[in-house]
Amino acid sequence: MVTDIDGLVADLSRAEKLALVCGTNDPDGTATGYLPGVPRLDVPPFRLVDGPLGIRAEGERATAFPATLATAATFDPDLAREQGAAMGREARAHDQHSLLAPGVNIVRVPHCGRNFEYLSEDPVLASAFSRALVDGIESENVVATVKHFVANNQETHRTTVSADVDERTLRELYLPPFRAAVEAGVGSVMTAYNRVNGTHMSDHAHLVGDVLKDEWGFSGYVVSDWYGLETTVGAANAGLDLEMPGVPSGPDDEDEEFEWPDGIPDGSHAGLFGEPLAAAIDDGSVPADRLDDMVRRVLGQMARIGLFADSRPDGELDSQRHRDLARDISTRGTVLLDNDGVLPLADDTDVALIGPHIHEAKLGGGGSSETTPFHSVSPVDGLTERAGGTVATARGIPEIESVSLFDLLPFVDSGHENDASSAPDGDPSLDDAVAAAEAADVAVVLARDATTEARDRDSLALPGQQDELVEAVAAANDRTVVVLRSGGPVETPWRDDVAAVVEQWYPGQADGAALASVLYGDSDPGGRLPVTFAPEGSYLTSDERRFPGEDDVARYDEGVFVGYRHFDSGDDEPTYPFGHGHSYATFEYGDATVVGDATVELSVRNVADRPGRDVVQAYVRPPAVDGIDRPVREFAAAQSVALDPGETGTVTLELDELAFSRYDEGWTVDSGQYRVEVGRSSSDVRATVDLDR
């Protein structure tokens, strides 16, 4: 077994070293990225694979977990750690060594087509889940790859746009989830396509070299996003270690003219860490020891996960515990936004299940996170199996067209099913939907958006005729429940006309089973919003200068006032605030007390006659400091707690130091009195306590 990495690097020829920093095609055709190894020195091949919602090995199947945003909605990092470990085991089962996950970019733009892969608009919550997912993946001897470093907050012009953002905002908002991943022992960091303050991230010496490697002490390798390497000399000297994929792609016909769509990197721009790197070393533009450092970092991660050992533990694929975990995360991440008492459903309720996609599981959004499961449960199947009453169905309107990164590349076959449908033949009818609603005790309307990597949403309105469908059904049945399946915030213009609104995100393979469990009250809706839902025009990024930007520059001049921080500081009211979500139970909060330097404790009692789950949240209000503009409050901690009827639990909240800190040429905590607000959302405070710092 190889233990002397320095000695191995010394034994490698330069050609062999170059082959370890520039990807090539996988002869088995399953890996997303591939390094061939060095047989002469018993260096094995190294395989990198998508993705954040489950393993996307080409042509293979795996557990399709809910969208990462749904995982974050649980406010329970322990569940995320379990998911990371499960994905690590499944990566091993597919003979993959590095998992290209998690995605931890802050949700700045509600229209972003990739928000479903991310965690939150808040850096403390995103950091907690970044740390947990990385810890879970790495615990199974698989290299986690945190992405996309950094300020990749939109898909529009993502390969060219410059995020113009000040240092304070980077430090307080966008960098913390990446630093948390480094602290958790992440083996790899992927650079983003975009520029930051004019410099492409693959060439960004300050952020990659100075901050990530020198300041944070990151010892793993930095990999480009696919075809995201811009220069040879700039990237190598900035600190990028591995080019992926390193071989060009494009139409099979070399004479065919192909214009790469916006948001898709030019696949012909590859191989910059091959011969061009050798030439740069020869002419002194890149030091020879930089190549040795690149190779040492890659080999170090290979050794750390046991690739040089005689054997590796077997993986685990589609096991019962993975199926159960996918279902648990989906139910725990489901958010009950509104409820006038119609939920949970009684067992004998006659239900009309309505919507254009009720016959298919909503597995995820489009792009590199698409996962093909061994099996999935549609909403129709899930509710039919659970219901004691009848379940009538009607599609009502035409289906919503799915979108995917792969649809934009006619020469690429993703090899994956997105949402498998068993819808009956025949045209849908709005009249049929209304008739079904009129005949039922309760009407359940399933509505969805359509998001993908490489494209942002044009609008936060539900696509197609779904708003019209909801309004027609609500007019026919005043006990209408709307279930949203979205990759982020959506508009809900009909919310005052329906009896309940549920946010299920992209629930993955357990879709219908998880939905039935929540609607019938077998599981409490344990999710809370990790993002703010608000009218489209009230977000600060509704300003074109900020999104999508002008002249390829997106100005982040809102600073740290993203999401709830913006809504707290102005007159705009959110539709549903950050942290919001109802339980089927009712909880009473006791007084909060400070039990340590930054720890708050209180009691919570379930006063309902049924079990329930609450998510107790803490926010910190800083003292006023002349000349310093800070958010009104900052999220600092949360604990998800399940309580039986009449049960009282003690909740201990360890407040994250980031909520007290601000950055001004270095980190500082202002002296003074901080008020800690404890409650059920950013706008629902149940207890307060002061502490001095």
| Per-residue pLDDT tens over the stretch 340-367 | 999 999 999 999 999 999 999 999 999 9
Give the residue numbers annotated as catalytic, written as ranges: 225
Extract the tokens encoding 548.
């999508």
Which residues fall within 8 angstroms of residue 108, CB to CB, at 6 or more apart? 121, 153, 154, 541, 547, 556, 562, 563
Residue with more model confidence, 255 or 39:
39
Mean pLDDT, residues 225-251: 97
Cβ burial, residue 465 (10 Å; 0-12/13-18/19+): middle
Calculate ∠ Cα 452-455-460, nearest 5°. 85
Q: What is the 3-state secondary structure (H, E, C) of 487-522?
A: CCCCCCCCHHHCCEEEECCCCHHHHHHHHHHHHCCC
For residue 100, give the nearest of 146, 36, 53 by alpha carbon: 146
Using a pLDDT cut of 90, give the percent of the chain over it: 93
Structure confidence by residue, pLDDT tens digits, 422-465: 678 789 999 999 999 999 999 999 999 999 999 999 999 999 99
- Per-residue pLDDT tens for 15-34? 999 999 999 999 999 999 99
Both tokens of residue 255? 């004479």
Taking residues 38-44, report their average pLDDT: 96
What band does 407 get if pLDDT is binned at 50, 70 and 90? confident
Q: How far is Cα 288 from Cα 649, in angstroms, rounded to an integer?
A: 60
Give pLDDT, residue 257: 78
- Please state whether the predicted TM-score (pTM) of the whole model is above 0.85: yes
Q: What is the pLDDT of residue 1?
A: 56
Which of 247-251, 318-322, 514-518, 628-632 is predicted with the least confidence, judged by mean pLDDT? Answer: 247-251
Separation of alpha carbons 480 and 445, rounded Å: 7
State both tokens at 323.
Answer: 């199926």
Instruction: Please tell me whether residue 77 adopts helix, strand or coil conformation.
Output: helix
Task: For residue 218, give both structure tokens.
Answer: 């990151």
As a whole number of Å, the end-to-end CA separation of the chain is: 51
Q: What is the 3-state secondary structure (H, E, C) of 308-320?
A: CCCCCCCCCCCCH
CA distances from 442 to 358, 469, 505, 513, 520 (A): 16, 15, 22, 18, 12
What region, left, alpha or beta, does residue 532 occupy, with left being phi > 0 and alpha being psi -120 to 50 degrees?
beta
Is residue 251 over pLDDT 90?
A: no
**pLDDT exceeds cutoff 90 at 415:** no
Query: pLDDT for 612-671, tens place per residue?
Result: 999 999 999 999 999 999 999 999 999 999 999 999 999 999 999 999 999 999 999 999
Polymer length in residues for the chain: 693
Average pLDDT, the chain: 96
In this structure, the strands spanning 599-606 and 593-596 are antiparallel
- pLDDT recorded at residue 681: 98
Task: Give the model confidence (pLDDT) of 42-79 as tens digits.
Answer: 999 999 999 999 999 999 999 999 999 999 999 999 99
- Predicted local distance difference test score (pLDDT) of residue 424: 81
Asked whether the beta carbons of 564 and 577 are under 8 A apart, the reply is yes
Residue 255: the pLDDT is: 62
Structure confidence at residue 6 (pLDDT): 96
Structure tokens at 217: 């002490």
Provide the 3-class DSSP secondary structure of residue 169.
helix
Residue 254 has pLDDT above 70, yes or no: no
Residue 65 CA to residue 52 CA, distance in Å, equals: 9
Residue 405 has pLDDT above 90, yes or no: no
pLDDT score for 65: 98
Tell me the pLDDT tens digit for each residue of 658-685. 999 999 999 999 999 999 999 999 999 9
pLDDT at residue 164 is higher than 90:
yes
Distance CA 618, CA 677 (A): 6
Q: Given a cut of 90, is residue 416 above it in pLDDT?
A: no
Q: What are the phi and psi torsion angles at 21 (to 5°)?
A: -125, 10
pLDDT classification of 410: cutoffs 50, 70, 90: confident
For 535-590, what is each residue's pLDDT tens digit?
999 999 999 999 999 999 999 999 999 999 999 998 899 999 999 999 999 999 99
CA nearest to 662, candidates 672, 654, 649, 677: 672
H or E, element range at 275: helix 275-282
Closest by CA position to 575, among listed 527, 538, 526, 547: 538
CB 167 within 8 A of CB 117: no
SS (H, E, C) 112-147: CCCHHHCCCCCHHHHHHHHHHHHHHHHCCCCEEEEE
Q: What share of the chain is helix, strand, coil (3-state, %, to 5)?
A: 30, 20, 50
What domains are defined for the chain?
A: 5-248+262-304 (3.20.20.300), 320-542 (3.40.50.1700), 585-692 (2.60.40.10)
**pLDDT value for 409:** 84
Assign residue 459 a region: left if phi > 0, alpha if psi is -120 to 50, beta otherwise?
beta
